């Protein structure tokens, strides 16, 4: 339905809950990435994916981008599992969305480091500052949001984006 889903329905569908993950249901760290509490939650995450996914896929490829999204979503859920509220039932793609945002910054940082021309470089703090501003606009800093999952996904995205960046192609004649 279009209305909010109760906790019990979300848990039955595969949402993450710290006590269930500790009891061995580790798969919930993955399944929760693909569940949303209501249509507004889903549309918000899909909108962010619509803007962040294509530019990253153009640089890394579609398969790498999909794997990166899932991996950073899980990474965000792991951070939330370790540091978040014990009573929370968690679901949503925003850890993965933040991961894609972080990966875009990681790719930018890697390409700046590889730039041979000093005019193509900009200080890393400019990229990281833009990242923080975009994070604030996309995710917000409101209470009731899973900031641990957001930041965990973001940091994982920066690291993985930097590591997955294709090496510059040399022009051998």
Structure tokens at 144: 């009731």
Rounded to whole angstroms, the Cα distance separating 116 from 77 reads 38
Segments in 84-173 forming alpha helices (H)? 94-114, 124-138, 147-164
What is the maximum span of the chain, computed from C-alpha positions, in angstroms?
A: 63
Task: Report, as residue numbers or ranges, the catalytic residues.
Answer: 94, 150
Residues in the chain: 173
């Amino acid at each position: 339905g279009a209305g909010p889903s109760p906790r019990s329905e979300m848990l039955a569908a595969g949402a993450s809950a710290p006590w269930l993950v500790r009891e061995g249901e580790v798969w919930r760290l993955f399944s929760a990435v693909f569940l949303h509490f209501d249509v507004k939650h889903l549309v918000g995450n899909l909108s962010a994916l619509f803007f962040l996914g294509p530019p990253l896929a153009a640089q890394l490829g579609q398969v790498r981008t999909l794997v990166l999204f899932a991996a950073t979503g899980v990474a965000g859920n792991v951070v939330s599992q370790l540091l978040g509220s014990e009573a929370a039932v968690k679901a949503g793609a925003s850890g993965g969305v933040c991961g894609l945002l972080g990966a875009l910054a990681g790719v930018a940082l890697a390409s700046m480091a590889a730039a041979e021309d000093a005019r193509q470089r900009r200080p890393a703090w400019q990229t990281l500052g833009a990242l923080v501003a975009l994070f604030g606009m996309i995710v917000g800093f409101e209470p009731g949001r899973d900031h641990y999952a957001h930041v965990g996904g973001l940091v994982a995205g920066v690291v993985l984006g930097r590591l997955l960046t294709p090496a510059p192609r040399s022009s051998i004649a």
